[in-house]
Structure 1
Amino acid sequence: MDIPVPSDQPMPSDAPPVVPAATVVVFRRDPAGGPPQLLMLQRANEMRFAGGATVFPGGRVDPADRDLARRISPDEPEEIAASRIAAIRETLEEAGLLLATRAQVTVTDAARARAMLLGGATLGQVLDHFGWDLAPETLMLYAHWCPLWANAFDTRFFVHDLGTGAVDVTVDATENTRLFWASAAQALAMAERGDISVIFPTRRNLERLARFATFEDALADIAAHPVVRIHPCREMRNDGEWIVIPEGLGYPIVGEPRATARRG
């Protein structure tokens, strides 16, 4: 298995072409006092990648995300800064939730901003229209996954805390068909029952997230495990072929039989 490299380093020169992407695990406090709840969405069955699967909000990094990242975070590595912007934009598009703003955003204004994005505006244009400023640094880099095959998604995972989480979220009715809040353990139980379907990276991250009683626990885990690019790979074992990731990166379970692992 290849030695993982830091997330801010480029892909190996001999690696296949990949698609930069970003996703964000949005935390909120459980009103009943239980473990943190996470925002999850079910992708439309018609989607080519992970159709019907339950995932965290996110999507590919667009050129306009890079432009805005250079404007807002000129001193940060562009790949990471642009991924933060993409995660913020995709969450607004997919859930109607605008993260990491310095000012309070009303439900009405969030809906208007979302409509602008879906109508073709860039996030930078939306911010300028409303006079909003972003604090993208409040999205903490948590993980980085990239299968080594052509046109795979090279995805950076972030975490963000909403606190009390008294927000409205609504599906976009095109790319996703359902939005819900659940703890990581609840989501895993739903997957075990067959109520939802999760792809290999989502399942491994839910298993990791299920260990955290608070958002601060997640931050401590990040500090203990520097983010590197994880390349899932195949490994032959006595009981057949497995999909595996390296050990020592914070994941309590690092493999699953290929026969049961959904990859996209």
Structure 2
Amino acid sequence: METHDIEPENWLAKTTPAATIVIFRRDWAGGAAQLLLVERNASLKFAGGATVFPGGKVDAADRALAERLVPTAGLDHEDLAARVAAVRETLEETGLVVGIEGVVDGAIAAQARRMLLEVEDLALVLEAFGWSLAPERLVPFARWWPKHRTERIFDTRFYLADLGTGAVDIEVDATENRHMFWASAQEALDLAEQGKIKIIFPTRRNLERLALFTSFEETSAHALATPVDTISPFMEERGGERWLMIPDGLGYPVVGEPLESAQRG
């Protein structure tokens, strides 16, 4: 994004920490792993109408829970708070339980979701259902921080999680999102090319990277072997045309596209 959009000293003041989770399930037909995607309501200011992965802002309750867990989790506070947010947002938005140890079935997950929507604190839900957080089950994949936007700067950590067979029910939250579906990374890219879904620049780059692999195991092995450096998109002139770019060497097969075609949220 244009380097003159915002003064560097204002990056932190305008930044909101966030977390996104790429949830895998095996394809019952034996094809590439499927990913859970959500279509955001068109009325939302950020990425309205776009298809994205589940996730959202890190809130105060996420930070408080992370603060209590840091000594035993072996992770820094910001990373752990983002993982807490990813687990919470997944349960709120989709009804799926990931990153949790304890007894879970469809009925229990539905009860936990209802409670979470009421109390808005994952710690209280963990206590009520006798669960414990298992942050190590979330595999770090990427970190995107577009520092040069004029507003709504999100420092977003991306994680991977596995549902295995994925024989579970999902239900859209009907507030921020209007539709949820499962698709392989390549299928999602094909839908975007056909104009059936809208994907923003970071989602497109991440889907292209995810499409290199066919399973959660392959993708997580790649993620663990690839450094998670902060990605801040930047502008570059190519043949007299402005391109939106990301740094090379971070596991992405495509590192840019013409600004004219880039959906920036």
Q: How far 1:224 moved relative to its partner?
A: 2.7
* C-alpha separation in 1, matches of 2:106 and 2:224: 34
1:131 partner amino acid: G
- Which residue is equivalent to 1:54? 51
Query: For each residue in 1:198-233, what CA deviation from the matched residue of structure 2 results, as whole angstroms up to 9, or x when unmatched?
Result: 000000000000011221211221133110100001
Are the equivalent residues in 2 in contact too, given 1:16–1:151 (CA < 8 A)?
no
* C-alpha separation in 1, matches of 2:21 and 2:94: 12
* C-alpha separation in 2, matches of 1:110 and 1:221: 30
Provide TM-score, normalisation by structure 2: 0.92
1:64 counterpart SS class: helix
For residues 108-187 of structure 1, the aligned pairs below 5 Å read 108-149=107-148, 150-187=151-188
- Which residue is equivalent to 2:4? none
* C-alpha separation in 1, matches of 2:213 and 2:106: 29
- Identity, % of aligned pairs? 56
Moved over 4 A (4+): none
Q: How far 1:13 moved relative to its partner?
A: 6.4
Query: Could you list the runs of 5+ residues in structure 1 that have no partner in the other structure?
Result: 2-11
Query: Could you list the runs of 5+ residues in structure 2 that have no partner in the other structure?
Result: 2-7
| Aligned mate of 2:27, from 27, 30, 45 | 30
* C-alpha separation in 2, matches of 1:223 and 1:132: 27
2:120 partner amino acid: A
Q: How far 1:120 moved relative to its partner?
A: 3.4
1:119 counterpart SS class: helix
Are the equivalent residues in 1 in contact too, given 2:189–2:208 (CA < 8 A)?
yes
2:245 aligned with 1:244: yes
Structure number with the higher helix fraction is 2
Q: How far 1:238 moved relative to its partner?
A: 1.5
* C-alpha separation in 2, matches of 1:106 and 1:198: 32
Query: For each residue in 1:161-183, what CA deviation from the matched residue of structure 2 results, as whole angstroms up to 9, or x when unmatched?
Result: 11111111100111101111000
Query: For each residue in 1:135-173, what CA deviation from the matched residue of structure 2 results, as whole angstroms up to 9, or x when unmatched?
Result: 111001110000013431100000011111111110011
- Which residue is equivalent to 1:87? 86
1:71 partner amino acid: R
Q: How far 1:111 moved relative to its partner?
A: 1.5
Provide TM-score, normalisation by structure 1: 0.92
